[in-house]
Amino acid sequence: MSAQGLELQHVGYKKMTKVILNDISVKIPLGRLVVLLGENGVGKTTLMRVISDLNKGYQGKVCLNGVSDERRKSLISFSDNLSSFRSKISLNDVIAFYQQGYPDFDLQRVNELLNFMRIDPLQRLGSLSKGNREKFVIALTLARRTRLYLLDEPLSGVDIFSRDKIISSLVKWIDNDSLLLISTHHLSELEQVIDDVLILKDQTMLEYRNVEDIRQQEGLSVEEYYRQTYLEH
Amino acid sequence: MEITKFKANLPIYLQVSDLLAERIIRGSYPVNSKVPSVRELAEELTTNPRTIQNALKELIDAQILITRRGQGNFVTADRSKIVELKQQRVKQKTAEYLDSLQPFLSWNEIITAVEKEIAKRREQ
């Protein structure tokens, strides 16, 4: 059995007595870009937090490259909304903070990404527009050299040009040794860059499927397929 | 910078391999020359590298591209392969075109329409 990749075994999560996630089992190999789909409130963010071991007390097992205890945290880069930083802090200072906090943080990589996205690191965090703030978050998240990248709604509230820029930067940073999991409501923009979709519905996983298979076997776009599958079940 | 958009309801790797085949037929990728790497193509076309690999595999299987170990993929030196590729494309595109008109036009009407359109374009 190959231990490379992300494996969930009967993963569930409850908040008090309310079931948020129920019995999710899936195996995702490294080297893939996966989109996490599901309507608002279905538990996409919760699933990412469980995978990152930020939500404790979940049921089942989460295993990343053979590591299933909390040590897997060091293999995961989860997009942060940066709300713990004061607005007056400069981007460079945020970057310095990341560099100190994460030994796998790659300064050259963050600078390349910021340069590509045309973000000036001398700016203050509070002066960034929503789109530029998203880009900055993505640059910080992808700048760690790690195995699993979790991006929670990286395209929300971002204009189409910034979205294109973000999507192009995702393509640049895909490699065979890592895995990107992205939650989004902007599926159509991501269709041609993703490998697989993971669909959540009613607290559990409806499907995990390769997108080229969907196009080849169903003759549908991923968005059409998602809509159809969602309504059928 | 603009993102190349592919049709969302057809496998992207087939669309990419069609696009690369057209570049080879046009001579944008000349005979015996190296085609861009998987990564370069993925970035240029904003697609997944795996999609590019699958597209290249189609052309390698058809012997249009030749893999030289450690060097990358090259357009075949065998021009007859490219002529064959072009003929295939012509046949495929013509068939698609005729399929779209056949339900409501006769052969003669299609020929007349094509001739008219060509004459018009020649004048422009």
Which of chain A's residues have a Cβ under 8 Å away from the Cβ of B12? 192, 212, 215
Candidate from A31, A164, A221 with C-beta closest to B9: A221
Contact A223 B8 (CB under 8 A): yes
Helix (H) or strand (E) holding A111: helix A107-116
pLDDT, residue A1, reads 45
From B10, B46, B48, residue closest to A33, measured CB to CB:
B48
Cβ-Cβ contacts under 8 Å, A32 against chain B = 50
Give the sign of the dihedral formed by CA B69, CA B71, CA B75, CA B77. Answer: negative
Strand A6-15, strand A59-64: pairing: antiparallel
What chain A residue is nearest to B5 in terms of C-alpha separation? A192
Q: Which two tokens stand for residue A42?
A: 């279905």
Distances in Å between the alpha carbon of B85 and those of A187, B11, B61? 35, 20, 13
A133: which residues sit within 8 A by CB, 6+ positions away? A82, A125
**Contacting residues of A for B8, CB less than 8 Å apart:** 188, 191-192, 215, 221-224
The bridge status of strand A196-201 relative to strand B65-68 is: unpaired
Query: DSSP letter at B17?
Result: H
- The least confident of A56-60, A170-174, B61-65 is A170-174
Provide the 3-class DSSP secondary structure of residue A151: strand
Question: Hey, what's the torsion of the CAs at A229, A29, A147, A81, to 10 degrees?
Answer: 0
Distance CA A154, CA B90 (A): 43
Please classify residue B34 by burial: count the beta carbons closer than 10 Å to its beta carbon, then call 0-12 exposed, 13-18 middle and 19+ buried. middle
CATH architecture assignment, domain A32-48+70-232: 3-Layer(aba) Sandwich (3.40)
Which H/E stretch holds residue A76?
strand A76-78
Quick one: pLDDT at residue A3?
Answer: 72
Beta carbons within 10 angstroms of residue A224's beta carbon: 16
Q: Which residues in chain B are contacts of A31 at CB distance < 8 A?
A: 50
Q: Which residues, listed in sequence order, are joined to residue A167 by a DSSP beta bridge?
A: none
Identify residue A136 by its one-letter amino acid code: F
Cβ neighbourhood burial of A60 (10 Å; 0-12, 13-18, 19+) = middle
B48: which 2 tokens? 């997944």
Alpha-carbon distance of A193 to B12, in angstroms, equals: 9
The CA distance from A150 to A6, in Å, is 12
Spell out the residues 6+ positions from residue A80 whose beta carbon is closer than 8 angstroms to its own: A137, A140, A141
Task: Look at residues A147, A152, A52, A141 and name the one whose alpha carbon lies nearest to residue A101.
Answer: A141
**Strand order, beta sheet including A179-183:** A76-78, A148-152, A179-183, A33-37, A196-201, A204-210
Residues in chain A within 8 Å Cβ distance of B9: 215, 219-221, 224
Pair A176, A29: CB distance under 8 Å: no
* Overall size of chain A counted in residues: 233
pLDDT at B1: 59
| Overall size of chain B counted in residues | 124
Per-residue pLDDT reduced to its tens digit, A78-107: 998 898 999 999 999 999 999 999 999 999
Neighbours of A167 (CB within 10 A): 19
Q: Residue ranges of the domains in chain A? A: 32-48+70-232
Q: Does A112 touch chain B (CB under 8 A)?
A: no
**Number of H-type helices and E-type strands within chain B:** 5, 2
> In this model, does residue A2 exceed pLDDT 80?
no
Which positions ≥6 away from A103 have C-beta within 8 Å?
none
Q: Is the dihedral of CA B4, B8, B9, B13 positive or negative?
A: positive
Write down all domains in chain B, each with its CATH number in brackets: 12-77 (1.10.10.10), 81-123 (no CATH)
> Which residue matches tokens 């041609």?
A192
Question: Do residues A184 and A215 lie in contact, with contact meaning Cβ atoms separated by under 8 Å?
Answer: no
pLDDT for the residue numbered A158: 82
- Is pLDDT at A16 greater than 80 in this prediction? yes
pLDDT tens per residue across span A104-155: 999 999 999 999 889 999 999 999 998 899 899 999 999 999 999 999 998 8
Q: What percent of chain A has pLDDT over 90?
A: 75
By the CB < 8 Å criterion, does A216 face chain B? yes
User: Which of B 39-98 lie inside 8 A of A, CB atoms?
Assistant: 42-43, 46-51, 54
* CB within 8 Å: B48 and A193: yes
User: How large a percentage of chain A has pLDDT more than 70?
Assistant: 99
Query: Using an 8 Å Cβ cutoff, are A233 and A201 in contact?
Result: yes
Looking at residue A157, what is its pLDDT?
A: 77
Site from A155, A212, A216 to mutate, B interface, most B CB atoms within 10 angstroms? A212
Low-confidence ranges of chain B (pLDDT < 50): none
**Average pLDDT value for residue range A202-228:** 95
pLDDT, chain A, mean: 92
pLDDT tens for B17-26 read 999 999 999 9
